[in-house]
Amino acid sequence: MSSSELLVQARSLQRDFVVRRRAGRLRRTRHVVSAVAGVDLDIHAGEAVGYIGANGAGKSTTIKMLTGILVPTAGTVRTCGLDPVRERRNLARQVGVVFGQRSGLWWDLPLVESFRVLAALHRLPSHTWAPRFDELVERLELTSFLATPVRQLSLGQRMRGEVAAALLHRPRLLVLDEPTVGLDVLSKERLRAFLREERAERATTLLLTTHDMGDIQRLCERVLVVDHGAIAYDGTLPGLVARVGAERVLVVDLAEPVAPLGGITHTQLVGVEGGGLRQRLSFSPDLTTAAQVLAAVSQRADVRDLAVEEPDVEEVVRRLYAASGR
Amino acid sequence: MRPLPALAVAGFRRWSAYRMATVAGALTNSVFGLLRAAITVAAVGAAGGVIAGYSAREVATYSWLTQALMTVMVLGIWDELAVRVRTGDIAVDLARPVDLQLSWLAADLGRAAFVLLPRGLPPLAVGALTTGLALAPSAWSYLLGALSVLLGVVISFAIRFAVNLSAFWLMDVRGALTLHMVVSGVLSGFIVPVAWFPPWLGTLASATPFPSMLQTPVDVLSGRVTGAAAAQVVALQALWAVATLGVGRLVLARATRRLVVQGG
Amino acid sequence: MADLPPAWAPYTALLGSRLHAQTAYRAGFVMDLFANVGIGLLEFVEIYVILTHTSTLGAMSASGALLVFALANIGFSLADLAVGHVDNLPTYLRAGTLDTFLLRPLPALAQLVTSDVALKRLGRTGVALIVLAVATPTAVAHWTPAKVVLLALTPVTGAAIFSALFVMAAAMQFWLVDGGELANSFTYGGSYAASYPASVLHLPLRVLFTFVVPAAFTAYLPALLLVEQPGPAGLPSWLGWLTPLVAVLAWGIALLVWRAGMRRYTGAGG
């Protein structure tokens, strides 16, 4: 990994904002707030990084500095080897960005028109963008609503359109800000499956912020947690879960109803459904493993199916913040 | 507090939040006042000193007073109610236990009360310093003038209310709103004094409530009409206020029936 | 990369998409067009009523004053058509549209300008063109090639100057949050001042709307040359020949102000 190219390199990255508050009837006081305070960040080509943290922890500000929308107050950042603000337009050719709450599409035109305009914006000759467009349409299943004006699309349809739009110019780095927020389970899963395929095929580097642990679990091998503008954790998801002592839950579907599976070492029975057909056991990953728990269960019942549930992002972040004394 | 005064206070508060906008607006009103006074004064000069009873000083005063009152009377486009109709939020308003028209009127009077001084005084002050103002001589004119401004706001609101309600029938109200802006801008005497109109336009204007909305308050405050004549034009304003509010209620009744029958 | 699309391809695509979107709602477009005819008439009523009472205005004949009015309105409505929507910058900022622009490989201002083209403004241009057609034969006596060029050029330079004012006014809104109405003094105020002979203004205002806000260059000064009249104090009529230069200068300043505004927005400056 360390031998591959650095796509994002940030050193002591800082961004301050001046906030004016009303103090009394006419007076206003100025406060300087650091939204990002000393972030060091290396992302290598081909990595998939999940960037999580509470609201207001500095995620969006960091992304804006990486993509050239905001100038850092202090520190340095290079994205794809470029100075993001000064070489913004060159950078735009190599980066695709989707902000979940904003649209990069033309709301009053049929979806397909947005791709034509974007291809022209990036000055892509038709023989390079047309095959890419066909590929994205097929893999994101856009065909049925290509002729629909963007404002009439459902959120899930629009988001697939946004992701396709961000990938049309084959960027090396894809930045997704809350890509799955508000989507139903099926839409989320479809988008994640597509992103996995895209990464497998083109080794696109991925940086995403999310509130959904499922996104991280399915897409990212590396997690960054930001807290009050600084990186509070950088490592794998299981490592993060172990560090905060958050518990995973093993869900087992059994062949026939069995008495509650209490008393298995290092586990706690947290749910019994269907008269004992489905049971849920929580365990701490640093005390035991899913395999050990499954082995113990298998001695007492015939397991037909199983799933491991991860703790949710808010919970993990809360615990991490608590552990660092916030 | 009783509901209608409470709504008026809320309307006042909402507008007082836009402090910067108020300063910017007062400056803009004053710049336009300077230009309008210069143009009309030059016209009077070129015509030999008087046009339809307006001397240079009087027409300058007219320019400053209309400029001072234009925000109060909303001579631009106002679509707040139309937006609520289009989004369906109007149903929430209709469900409230207060009369829809009167509650919006109360809020509009609150708005007008807030913009009156900050948007009105700067142009008048600039006018007093540059061209001088020819204002009414007696206190009675100002008392009557205050009442006349109030009635002007009511008429302005009543017409805007009815025009906005056309959103119940029209897919796109921008055309109707712009038409209203153009017609009220001309016929209210905002662009040039009604007395300057060619006869056909003057006759047309006098058949509408628009002169009662702006020209009448300006005439009373500047002392162009005084005494019994002033009382008479203000009485006419009151009639127009009642008539325009009445038309608004009729439109509202039809609109509500449509809403109930068709479910929006 | 011999077949790379030309440098202007992005802009033709953006403008094409805007034209497409407008023609998609034809009924709404026709209504907007008529509404803009109404706005053009609203502007016209004032000078029309004034000219029913006097045969001269600001030392110009009625037809000369109408020529000024027409030229100013053509220039302004064309500028409004092309870039008037930059007024909405605060809305664009709130909706994050400007961030989206910054993520694309084109200058943000070029994208903002091409993000709309309000063809409905042609309604106002139409009213002004009719006034021009009526006023010009009476106002201009001796035609020379230079006058023909000047008459053809004035709407273009006027539109350029008003466009620069729109961009400057928009850029000011990076600093003046909620202060958009002040910016209107420059754009709409400039257009209003430009519609009348600058000789009606007192000297300070005349200087302001000639050398600070270059409104007099959009119509009055070229019109003086067309009707062969000397200008009032401070405004010799030969200034009219400088109009193209003033347009270039205005755009230079507008771009500097815009750049400073963008630097403020991205947090690089001040």
Is B20 buried (19+), middle (13-18) or exposed (0-12) by CB count in 10 A?
A: middle
The residue ranges of DSSP E strands in C22-151, in sequence order, are 56-57, 60-61
Binary contact (A121, C13; C-beta < 8 A)? yes
What pLDDT does A224 receive?
94
Per the CB < 8 A criterion, the answer to whether B43 and C50 are in contact is yes
- Same domain (yes/no): A43, A141: yes
> What does the CA dihedral C141, C146, C147, C152 come to, rounded to 10 degrees?
150
Nearest one of B115, B130, B125 to B23, comparing CA atoms? B115
Q: Say which residues have a Cβ less than 8 Å from residue A260's Cβ, sequence separation at least 6.
A: A269, A272, A276, A279
What pLDDT does C17 receive?
84
Binary contact (A85, C107; C-beta < 8 A)? no
End position of a domain, from candidates A221, A242, A263: A242
**Residue C100 sits at the chain A interface (C-beta within 8 Å):** yes
Q: Say which residues have a Cβ less than 8 Å from residue A57's Cβ, sequence separation at least 6.
A: A226, A227, A228, A229
Specify if A316 maps to a domain: no
- Same domain (yes/no): A296, A278: yes
Higher pLDDT, A309 or A168: A168
For chain C, the domain total comes to 1
- Same domain (yes/no): A228, A278: no
Specify if C4 maps to a domain: no
- Same domain (yes/no): A41, A180: yes
End position of a domain, from candidates A218, A242, A266: A242
Whole-angstrom Cα distance, residue C10 to residue A123?
A: 7
CA angle A137, A141, A144 (to 5 degrees): 95
Specify if C1 maps to a domain: no
What pLDDT does B260 receive?
63
For chain B, 264 residues long, give each residue's pLDDT as a single digit of tens.
677 777 777 766 666 656 777 888 888 999 999 999 999 999 999 999 999 999 999 999 999 999 999 999 999 899 999 999 888 888 878 877 788 999 899 989 988 998 898 889 999 999 999 999 998 888 999 999 999 999 999 999 999 999 999 999 887 788 889 999 999 999 999 999 999 999 999 999 999 999 999 999 999 999 999 999 999 999 999 999 999 999 999 999 998 887 765 554
Six token digits for residue A194: 């597509």
Residues of C in contact with B172 (CB under 8 A): 27-28, 31
Average pLDDT for A173-180:
92
What pLDDT does B14 receive?
63
- Same domain (yes/no): A99, A220: yes
- Same domain (yes/no): A74, A157: yes
What pLDDT does A266 receive?
85
Whole-angstrom Cα distance, residue A41 to residue B228?
A: 82
- Same domain (yes/no): A252, A216: no
Whole-angstrom Cα distance, residue C208 to residue C59?
A: 20
- Same domain (yes/no): A48, A78: yes
Binary contact (A117, C103; C-beta < 8 A)? no
DSSP C6: P
Binary contact (C189, B25; C-beta < 8 A)? no
CA distances from C90 to B77, C93, C131, C177, C181 (A): 19, 5, 35, 7, 12
Q: Say which residues have a Cβ less than 8 Å from residue B41's Cβ, sequence separation at least 6.
A: B56, B59, B60, B131, C200
What pLDDT does A24 receive?
61
How close B246 comes to chain C (CA, Å)?
A: 27
What pLDDT does A91 receive?
93
Amino acid at B52: A
Binary contact (C95, A102; C-beta < 8 A)? yes
DSSP B37: H
What pLDDT does B193 receive?
97
The tens digit of pLDDT for each residue in B197-239 reads 999 999 999 999 999 999 999 999 999 999 999 999 999 999 9
The tens digit of pLDDT for each residue in C95-137 reads 888 999 999 989 999 999 988 888 999 999 999 999 999 999 9
Nearest one of A37, A58, A79, A314 to A175, comparing CA atoms? A79
Higher pLDDT, B49 or C267: B49
Binary contact (C52, B25; C-beta < 8 A)? no
Higher pLDDT, A98 or C184: A98
**Lowest-confidence segment of A55-59, B94-98, C84-88 by average pLDDT:** B94-98
What pLDDT does A3 receive?
54
Nearest one of A39, A43, A61 to A6, comparing CA atoms? A43
Per the CB < 8 A criterion, the answer to whether A176 and A208 are in contact is yes
- Looking up tokens 């993509």 gives A67
> What does the CA dihedral C145, C148, C151, C154 come to, rounded to 10 degrees?
-50
Express as a percent the part of chain C with pLDDT over 70: 97
What pLDDT does C4 receive?
74
What pLDDT does C1 receive?
45
pLDDT-derived band at C15, boundaries 50, 70, 90: confident
Tell me which residues of chain C have a C-beta less than 8 Å from any C-beta of chain B: 27-28, 31-32, 34-36, 38-39, 41-42, 45-46, 49-50, 52-58, 176-185, 189, 192-193, 196, 199-202, 205
pLDDT-derived band at C43, boundaries 50, 70, 90: very high
Whole-angstrom Cα distance, residue A58 to residue A72?
A: 12
Per the CB < 8 A criterion, the answer to whether B7 and B110 are in contact is yes
What pLDDT does B261 receive?
57
Specify if A261 maps to a domain: yes
- Same domain (yes/no): A302, A185: no
Strand partners, A226: A231
pLDDT-derived band at A257, boundaries 50, 70, 90: confident
Per the CB < 8 A criterion, the answer to whether A290 and A27 are in contact is no
- Same domain (yes/no): A116, A166: yes
Domain extent for C83: 9-265
- Same domain (yes/no): A150, A267: no
Q: CB pairs below 8 Å between A and C: how many? A: 85
Binary contact (B20, C176; C-beta < 8 A)? yes
- Looking up tokens 């800082």 gives A14
Specify if C2 maps to a domain: no
Binary contact (C50, B174; C-beta < 8 A)? no
Residues of B in contact with C200 (CB under 8 A): 38-39, 41-42
Binary contact (C103, A69; C-beta < 8 A)? yes
For chain A, the domain total comes to 2
- For testing contact with chain A, the best of C8, C18, C94, C104 (most A CBs within 10 A): C104
- Same domain (yes/no): A193, A252: no
Find chains touching chain B: ≥3 CB pairs under 8 Å.
Answer: C
Per the CB < 8 A criterion, the answer to whether A49 and A208 are in contact is yes
Specify if A148 maps to a domain: yes
Nearest CB among C99, C102, C106 relative to A121 is that of C106
Average pLDDT for A92-115:
88
Specify if A325 maps to a domain: no
What pLDDT does C32 receive?
86
Confirm whether the ipTM is greater than 0.85: yes
State the average pLDDT for chain C: 91
Express as a percent the part of chain A with pLDDT over 90: 40
pLDDT-derived band at A196, boundaries 50, 70, 90: very high
What pLDDT does B33 receive?
95
Six token digits for residue C23: 């023609």
Domain extent for A255: 247-310
Per the CB < 8 A criterion, the answer to whether B155 and B209 are in contact is yes
pLDDT-derived band at A26, boundaries 50, 70, 90: low
Average pLDDT for A155-159:
92
Specify if A177 maps to a domain: yes
The tens digit of pLDDT for each residue in C64-83 reads 999 999 999 999 999 999 99
What pLDDT does A23 receive?
66
**Lowest-confidence segment of A76-80, A145-149, A178-182, C3-7 by average pLDDT:** C3-7
Phi and psi at B66, nearest 5°, equal -65, -35
What CATH number should be reported for the domain holding residue A263?
A: 3.30.70
Instruction: Residue B94: count other Cβ atoms within 10 Å of its Cβ.
Output: 13
pLDDT-derived band at A283, boundaries 50, 70, 90: confident
What CATH number should be reported for the domain holding residue A66?
A: 3.40.50.300
What pLDDT does C152 receive?
97
